[in-house]
Amino acid sequence: MTSKPVAFMLADLGVTKSHSRPHVSDDNPHIESLFKTVKYQPEFPATFANLAEARAFCRVFFKWYNTQHRHSSFALLTPADVHHGQAEGRLKRRQLILDTAYAAHPARFVNGKPRVGRLPAASFINRPSEIIDDAA
């Protein structure tokens, strides 16, 4: 990352070089969020005995993470729901359940009729400049 050719290539591609310390991933919010989730899992060991044990843990963890863990940034859906096109149907079903609960017990909802979350239109680490300009 310090050679002139790589620096020029990154500039040509419109990639901003990270100025983080080596081996510190504090400039990628998606990865930081994943690291925190994995490290706070009750099953996460203090150390792995070997590479095979680490891989076995990751196989189980990522299956759970993608198919069962509900993400706040995905309107409390799983990545699998979003990836496989099930998000819209699940959100509609969730809204029907909320509407039914509100109709039966409106006093329980002190902030009025509940609404399900919405999915973001896109997610970026480095938002492209044309999108920033359009949003302004």
- Structural domain of residue 110, as residue ranges? 80-121
For residue 103, give the nearest of 111, 94, 93, 113 by alpha carbon: 113
pLDDT, position 135:
56
- Residue 120 is predicted with a pLDDT of 87
pLDDT digits (tens, 9 = 90+) for 6-18: 778 778 888 776 6
Domain boundary among 7, 39, 69: 69
Q: Strand runs (DSSP E) across the chain, as ranges?
A: none
Residue 3 lies in a domain: no
- Residue 108 CB contacts under 8 Å (≥ 6 apart), including other chains: 101
User: How much is the pTM?
Assistant: 0.64
Tell me, yes or no, whether 135 lies in a domain: no
pLDDT tens-digit map of 44-65: 999 999 999 999 999 999 999 9
Q: How many domains does the chain divide into?
A: 2
Residue 89 lies in a domain: yes
Residue numbers of the chain with a pLDDT score lower than 70: 1-4, 17-27, 125-126, 131-136
